Amino acid sequence: MIATDASLRPVSDLNAAAAGPTGDDGQPNGQVAGGNGHRGNGHRNGHAPDDALGRAILLELRESGATGPDALATRLGMSRTSTLQRLRELETAGFVARQAIRHGVGRPRHLYDITAAAQRSLPANYDGLATTLLDSIVEVGGDGLVEEVFQARRRLLRERIQARFAERLGPGASLADRVRELAVVQDEAGYVCRAETAPMNGGSLELREHNCAILGAAAGHPAACRAELQLFEEVLDARVVRTSHIASGDRACTYLIEPRDS
């Protein structure tokens, strides 16, 4: 029996569509379930399901393959109604796909299966992979090779960020504009980054990362943080000083930014 999260709302039958023939799950043939009235849990804007039933459905489909709602409900120990409603929500979110299988006369049988988007929402260990790779690099070439790897990464990121600055900001952009755009870039990369003014430092610009997206690597390899500091200096063409550091136990990585000629 699957114990659903307390956040999972009470489940009730969805009304069958008024028009068109229906399949064995009560869904109109060829129509995507849910429509604009989708109210699912934890998968708006492509985010993974955050409820126990949604996760259990995806894992079961990943293991067993295309399955009908009745068989799926039995395997999960859930009611057909709640399982079918959740399948419809997951279909609307793009995490499951439905196909109609016809066997002679009568309603087709509907099977649900996991999509590529759902696969990306399943458990992964990228942080462990990155850390293991770095440890392997140390074993092969020592800390010097790790430094080279992070410097190569810095150069790649520098090219991408400078190209974005050119596209978004154009020539002659102010330092403040570059800092704000860099904050957006880092935020999109998972650093929960904000650009602020530092009132305690004469109104200097400040970049604050509230999360380290590569903490597993940075904690054991200082070359990662050195490369980030260099990257910011290069793309901003400014003096950058790190004043707090997540890898050292602080709550954020904070960078004080000033023009080179100040």
Q: What are phi and psi of 5, to 5 degrees?
A: -60, 155
Residues of the chain with pLDDT under 70: 1-50, 199-203, 262
Measure the CA–CA gap between 146 and 50, rounded to whole angstroms: 37
Measure the CA–CA gap between 97 and 104, rounded to whole angstroms: 23
Give me the pLDDT at residue 20, please.
37
258 sits in which H/E element: strand 253-259
pLDDT digits (tens, 9 = 90+) for 206-238: 999 999 988 888 888 999 999 999 999 999 999
Q: In a 3-state reduction of DSSP, which class is residue 241?
A: strand
Residue whose pair of structure tokens reads 């400014």 in the numeric block: 238
User: In degrees, to the nearest 5, what angle opens at C-alpha 195 toward C-alphas 164 and 226?
Assistant: 75
Give me the pLDDT at residue 164, please.
97
Residue whose pair of structure tokens reads 């409900």 in the numeric block: 73
CB-CB contact of 193 with 206 (8 Å): no
Q: Residue 50 half-sphere exposure, CB side, CA atoms within 13 Å?
A: 12
Measure the CA–CA gap between 25 and 109, rounded to whole angstroms: 8
> Which one-letter amino acid corresponds to residue 71?
A
- Two structure tokens written together for 73: 């409900």
Give me the pLDDT at residue 131, please.
81
Please, where are the H alpha helices in 99-241?
116-121, 126-168, 175-188, 215-218, 223-236
- Two structure tokens written together for 49: 């399901």
Give me the pLDDT at residue 14, please.
28
Exposed, middle or buried by CB within 10 Å (0-12, 13-18, 19+), for 171? exposed
